[in-house]
Copies of this chain bind each other. A is one copy, B any other.
């Protein structure tokens, strides 16, 4: 997936780190639904995701503010997915909610600062 283009900080990031269990158990369908749901939420700015062959993965989703994150978390389907995920999909996971204060990057040609 490409690096997500984001507005100038401040905005928020939710980092979701997880160790998957073996087997799909409906995970792929749930993951697609979660992304589709997030994209419809007010305040959603984008997300980036990577998972290695060892089953450890990180998804960073970006949001305009904490209220947007809380509204998303409260979505019933999301909560249901989490409850199921704890048992069937993940060995462990961690969520951290953080306020992005500065950002920079390389677009293939030059360094670019967002602050």
Task: Tell me whether chain A's interface is mostly helix, strand or loop, or mixed.
Answer: strand
**Contact present for A92 and B104 (CB under 8 Å):** no
Residues of B within 8 A of A96 (CB): 6, 9, 13, 100, 102-103
Check: A78 CB closer than 8 A to any chain B CB: no
Tell me which of A4, A52, A106 has the highest count of chain B C-beta atoms within 10 A of its own C-beta.
A106
**Contact present for A95 and B86 (CB under 8 Å):** no
Contact with B along A58-87 (1 / 0, CB 8 A): 101000001000000000000000000010
Chain B nearest Cβ from A115, distance in angstroms: 9
Interface residues of A (CB under 8 A from B): 1-4, 6, 9, 12-13, 15, 17-19, 48-54, 56-58, 60, 66, 86, 90-108, 111
